[in-house]
DNA sequence: AGCTTGACTTTGA
DNA sequence: GTCAAAGCCAAGC
């Protein structure tokens, strides 16, 4: 259980889960939110990521929306950094979308 | 206490 | 299959 104490903010829980994402794999905001028991607060996951950019170091590039599109790539220092990082991990990105997203998708609940 | 915002998701056409 | 509209949840003001 990633949820040791629900005292923390939603953001921290998101950070922990995102840190657990294996290299070369990606997941969706909804899956994260659901894994945390937040239900449909997928938007908040994104906000957490944005917050992380300034405070914590989390592989936010491995988090995409439900269709595998790099929704938040614009929030990266250079937007191109996101696809670059993904490419470095073996994830191919085409037109801001993850190729074979279905195959690369990492289900948090399946691993946890 | 209430309203606005958001790196989303789901549903209906 | 795609496009537009409504919904949900939590944080920030």
Helix (H) / strand (E) containing A93: strand A93-94
| pLDDT tens series, chain A, 112 aa | 544 555 678 998 999 999 999 999 999 999 999 999 888 899 999 999 999 988 888 999 999 999 999 999 999 989 999 999 999 999 999 999 999 999 999 999 886 6
CB A20 within 8 A of CB A2: yes
For A18-49, write each residue's pLDDT tens digit: 999 999 999 999 999 999 988 889 999 999 99
Provide, in whole angstroms, the distance separating residue A8's CA from nucleotide C2's C1'.
40
Q: Which nt is closest to the CA of A10, judged by C1'?
A: C10
- Residue A19 makes CB contacts below 8 A (sequence gap 6+) with A58, A59
Q: Which nt is closest to the CA of A63, judged by C1'?
A: B7
Q: A48: closest CA among A74, A17, A69? A: A17
Q: Which residues from 9-38 of A have any strand B atom under 7 Å from their CB? A: 28-30
Strand B and A41 CB separated by under 7 Å: yes
């Amino acid at each position: 259980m990633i949820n040791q104490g629900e005292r923390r903010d939603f953001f921290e829980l998101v950070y922990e889960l995102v840190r657990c994402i294996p290299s070369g794999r990606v997941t969706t905001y909804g899956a994260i939110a659901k894994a945390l028991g937040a239900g449909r607060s997928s938007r908040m996951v994104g906000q957490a990521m944005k917050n992380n950019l300034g405070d914590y170091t989390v592989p936010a590039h491995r988090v995409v929306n439900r269709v595998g599109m790099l929704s938040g790539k614009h929030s990266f220092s250079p937007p191109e950094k996101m696809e670059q990082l993904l490419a470095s991990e073996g994830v191919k990105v085409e037109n801001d979308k993850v190729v074979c997203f279905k195959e690369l998708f990492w289900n948090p609940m399946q691993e946890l």
